[in-house]
Amino acid sequence: MSEAPPVATRGLVKRYGEIVAVDHVDLTVEPGDVFGYLGPNGAGKTTSLRMMLGLIRPTEGSVQLFGRDPLRDGAKALQGVAGFVEGPAFYPYLSGRRNLRLLADYDDGDSRSRIDEVLDLVELRDRAKDKVGGYSHGMRQRLGIAAALLRSPRLLLLDEPTTGLDPAGMRDMRQLVRQLAADGITILLSSHLLAEVEELCNRVAIIRRGAVIYEGRLDELLRSARGGYRLVATEHDRAFSLLRAQRGIEAVQSNGYLRLQGDDGALAAATIALGQAGIGITELVPQTTSLEELFLAMTGGETADAGARR
């Protein structure tokens, strides 16, 4: 019998009065995924994570973490699960190490023995004796991940972990996420930063106004939107006329080059025809569509009001 997936939501709904914050969300996060939960600010990502962790009760639908429901099974459902929503919280007047010790006391005895290990992992051991009130935002984010790792999780849920970080802090956080994934931890990463998702994630769900409008492999999504080819030829006008007559090829003139659409077979036949006509090809490159372009097309360029949905 196969193991239950780390995260499975079915028909997940959360309403606040007349506002539908999460609208019948179905998600499946598979073992080993770095799963990007992508949407505009206010699309419903944080509310979804709160329901996944049992922090708020769904209006409808269900959540299962490794086959357990946080509302039905309580703390048992969170075994092997860790993370933070809307940023980690610590006692600012205590040191980083002391904060971790307090959190470890809520878990089993192994958690305290891992404090030095997780501090090393997030590169905070040299600042572990300093009060958290003096930490930068990036340091507090890394301490939050250290706190989550005390539990040796199999699943890590991170809500906008790079928000508010400077470029160096964002780079360090991305490297840390890669390292954790390489260590076998399944990661659900909520973000509105498209470059972050494209760089880190193998599967994604895109949410708009509380509803999922795409779930699947990121590479398949990008491949499905391949934008044809850019061709530059030695004789532009002759090349255009010849290509317009080629079966299976759509050619459009642009500023100094031709834009082609067609499958690989039609494209191969077209390049042979150009060569036979004595027309040289100086450039032929695929035109890719970025995740940002896809996202804006799928969400209608929406920038949601963060006050309406989280």
Residues 6+ apart with CB under 8 A from 195: 291, 292
Q: Are 125 and 116 in contact (CB under 8 A)?
A: yes
Provide mean pLDDT across the span 2-9.
90
Domain identity same for 66 and 165: yes
Q: Three-state DSSP class for 267?
A: helix
Q: Note whether residue 205 is domain-resident.
A: yes
Winning range, highest mean pLDDT, from 32-41, 252-261, 295-304: 32-41
Query: How distant is the alpha carbon of residue 21 from its chain centre?
Result: 20
DSSP notation for 139-207: HHHHHHHHHHHTT--SEEEEESTTTT--HHHHHHHHHHHHHHHHTT-EEEEEES-HHHHHHH-SEEEEE
Q: Note whether residue 2 is domain-resident.
A: no
Note down the domain range covering 234: 227-286
Of 205, 223, 241, the last residue of a domain is 223
| CATH number for position 63 | 3.40.50.300
Distance CA 232, CA 226 (A): 19
Domain identity same for 66 and 164: yes
Angle at 274 between CA 271 and CA 278, to 5 degrees: 140
pLDDT in tens, 7-50: 999 999 999 999 999 999 999 999 999 999 998 888 899 999 99
| CATH number for position 278 | 3.30.70
Domain identity same for 11 and 76: yes
Tell me the sheet residues that pair with 102. Answer: none
Tokens 């971790």 belong to 100
Residue 307 is predicted with a pLDDT of 38
| Polymer length in residues for the chain | 310
Distance CA 303, CA 120 (A): 38
Closest residue by Cα to residue 45 from 192, 155, 156:
192
Total number of domains in the chain? 2
Tokens 């499905």 belong to 224
Of 180, 205, 223, the last residue of a domain is 223
Mean model confidence pLDDT for the chain: 87
Q: Give the model's confidence band at 265: pLDDT under 50 very low, under 70 low, under 90 confident, else very high.
A: confident
- Assigned token pair, 206: 């895109």
pLDDT at 223 over 80: no
